């Protein structure tokens, strides 16, 4: 016999989307539960995003989870583009009328959200197995196994915040959903180390050997990436091999001053563009990576996820407080406008900065011309800056 429970909103997935949605709903007095496949430690062990738009920071403020972010987050006025052995700055603050981004790891943000949820006594079920969603056209139910017992949660709405490989999108009948996808013929090999960052700003590098990115988590912790082939295994790269390859791809000044050290983490991420339309199926709403993926070159994935969550929380609050359904009805279209803008920007940044495995010198010449354009034309630089810091209206 399944153990039954009822909540207003059942959230599948405790990544940044599910946790922030849970927090916004909890603060609005809407009772919710999060059901997560993995353990909290596993979720916190995944090293991912690092760059937050101002609108994401504002939303985290509103959710009451941004105190540590304001203490420890690093505000970046611009970013660097390296090509042809030289670095060029794109100054976001100057080009966008004062906007900046904040560098704060997704791991830290997730930890802040988890701790707040725990302190406020809102429930999260970790290590929930065989999670399945049912009846979202009328009476939604989430089922799962935990510690050998079967559980069932009846609810008004299900939020599918379970990432690209999750169960919620996969449960939608094929005829009700359209997907758009581009898989890139390369990945990113990332390394985290307890070393000071090579530069005060991120460096995006275009190099004949492939793309490289110099990022950071704090004044003493660096995050670096190099473009790699899709079949690359992180285990086959020694730290020394990684540092040598990175040094070959960055500008000479960065190669000279880079401080190296043992890795804390190394992993390979494939690059993908993906959108599922629509993002709502009756009483099931998809949010974040469950509905869309961008290649990380534009630093947009987490920001898009949190934007979906803001719209979904507003729509649910309006429904519970005022019985209005227009925001629920427009949720999918409202999200998808911003999603497609981010898809375009991320694909464009990826094309400009990566070495195409089957590309030729013509492709390289086009990339270099585009890079010179964005680093010399105010209009082109403004377009990059505006998209990177996040557009107010899309
Ligand atoms: P996820 O973080 O994937 O969370 C989904 C959760 O659902 C997971 O905890 C998962 O365990 C759980 N789950 C999965 N299946 C089930 C199931 N069947 N049942 C229950 N739970 C389930 N974005 C940025 O904005 N800026 C960046 O700088 C940036 N850099 C990135 C760098 C890399 C290398 C990568 C890989 C991504 C980067 N991103 C970046 C993207 C960002 O990390 C994601 O967009 C973000 O994690 C999306 O959050 P989410 O909560 O929607 O999904
Ligand atoms: C990161 O720090 O992990 C990071 C930063 C910028 C990106 C992608 C990843 O575009």
Centroid of ligand 1 to alpha carbon of 163 (angstroms): 6
Query: Does residue 50's CB lie within 6 angstroms of at least one atom of ligand 1?
Result: yes
Q: Which residue reads 């354009």 in tokens?
A: 373
299 lines ligand 1 (CB under 6 A): yes
Residue 76 CB–ligand 2 contact under 6 Å: no
Which ligand approaches the C-alpha of residue 106 most closely? 1
266 lines ligand 2 (CB under 6 A): no
Q: Which ligand is nearest to the CA of 53?
A: 1
> What is the CB-side half-sphere exposure of residue 213 using CA atoms within 13 A?
25
Residue 140 annotated as catalytic: no
> To test the ligand 2 pocket, which listed residue (16, 50, 218) has its Cβ within 8 A of the most ligand atoms?
50
Paired tokens of 30: 């809407």
pTM assigned to the model? 0.97
Tell which atom from ligand 2 comes closest to the C-alpha of 217. 2
| 351-362: b (≥16 Cβ within 10 Å) or e | bbbbbeeeeeee
Residue 1 is predicted with a pLDDT of: 60
Q: Which two tokens stand for residue 91?
A: 């100054």
pLDDT at 231 (0 to 100) = 95
What is the distance between the alpha carbons of residues 160 and 168, in angstroms, rounded to a whole number?
5
* pLDDT at residue 191, rounded to an integer: 98
CB environment 56-79: b (16+ within 10 A), e (fewer) = bbebbeebebbeebeeebbebbbb
Number of residues written out for the chain:
394
**How much distance in Å is there from the Cα of 52 to the middle of ligand 2?**
10
Instruction: State whether the beta carbon of 109 lies less than 6 angstroms from ligand 1.
Output: no
146 and 153 in contact (C-beta within 8 Å)? no
Which pair of structure tokens corresponds to residue 318? 């309006």
Write down the catalytic residue from 184, 204, 224, 320. 204
Q: Output the tens digit of pLDDT for each of the chain's 394 residues.
A: 678 899 999 999 999 999 999 999 999 999 999 999 999 999 999 999 899 999 999 999 999 999 999 999 999 999 999 999 999 999 999 999 999 999 999 999 999 999 999 999 999 999 999 999 999 999 999 999 999 999 999 999 999 999 999 999 999 999 999 999 999 999 999 999 999 999 999 999 999 999 999 999 999 999 999 999 999 999 999 999 999 999 999 999 999 999 999 999 999 999 999 999 999 999 999 999 999 999 999 999 999 999 999 999 999 999 999 999 999 999 999 999 999 999 999 999 999 999 999 999 999 999 999 999 999 999 999 999 999 999 988 8
User: 344 C-alpha to center of ligand 2: Å?
Assistant: 17
Q: What is the predicted pLDDT for the residue at 394?
A: 84
d(CA 299, CA 290): 17
Regarding the beta carbon of 54 and ligand 2, being less than 6 Å apart is answered: no
* Whether residue 187 has its Cβ less than 6 Å from ligand 1: no
How many A from CA of 298 to the centre of ligand 2? 8
């Amino acid at each position: 016999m399944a153990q039954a429970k009822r909540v207003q909103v059942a959230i599948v997935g405790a990544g940044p989307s599910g946790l922030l949605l849970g927090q916004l709903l909890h603060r609005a007095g809407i009772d919710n539960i999060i059901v997560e496949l993995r353990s909290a430690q596993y979720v916190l062990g995944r090293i991912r995003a690092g760059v937050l738009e101002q609108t994401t920071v504002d939303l985290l403020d509103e959710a009451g989870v941004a105190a540590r972010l304001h203490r420890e987050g690093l505000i970046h006025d611009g970013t660097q583009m390296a090509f042809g052995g030289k670095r060029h700055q794109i100054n976001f603050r100057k080009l966008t009328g004062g906007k900046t981004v904040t560098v704060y790891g997704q791991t830290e943000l997730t930890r802040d959200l988890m701790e707040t949820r725990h302190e406020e006594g809102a429930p999260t079920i970790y290590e929930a197995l065989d999670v399945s969603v049912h009846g979202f056209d009328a009476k939604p139910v989430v089922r799962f196994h935990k510690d050998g017992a079967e559980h069932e949660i009846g609810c008004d709405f299900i939020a599918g915040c379970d990432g690209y490989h999750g169960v919620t999108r996969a449960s939608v009948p094929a005829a009700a959903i359209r997907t758009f996808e581009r898989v890139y013929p390369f990945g990113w090999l990332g390394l985290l180390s307890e070393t000071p960052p090579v530069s005060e700003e991120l460096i995006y590098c275009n190099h004949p050997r492939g793309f490289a990115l110099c990022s950071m988590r704090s004044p003493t912790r660096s995050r670096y990436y190099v473009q790699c082939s899709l079949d690359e295994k992180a285990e086959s790269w020694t730290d020394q091999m990684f540092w040598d390859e990175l040094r070959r791809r960055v500008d000479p000044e960065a190669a000279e001053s880079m401080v190296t050290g043992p890795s804390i983490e190394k992993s390979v991420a494939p690059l993908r563009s993906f959108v599922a339309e629509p993002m709502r199926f009756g009483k099931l709403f998809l949010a974040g990576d469950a509905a869309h993926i961008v290649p990380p070159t534009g630093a947009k994935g987490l920001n898009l996820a949190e934007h979906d969550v803001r719209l979904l929380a507003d729509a649910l609050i309006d429904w519970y407080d005022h019985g209005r359904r227009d925001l629920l009805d427009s949720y999918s279209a409202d999200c998808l406008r911003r999603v497609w803008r981010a898809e375009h920007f991320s694909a464009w940044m990826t094309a400009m900065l990566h070495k195409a495995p089957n590309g030729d010198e013509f492709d390289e010449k086009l990339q270099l011309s585009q890079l010179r354009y964005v680093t010399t034309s105010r209009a082109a630089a403004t377009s990059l800056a505006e998209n990177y810091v996040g557009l107010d209206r899309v």
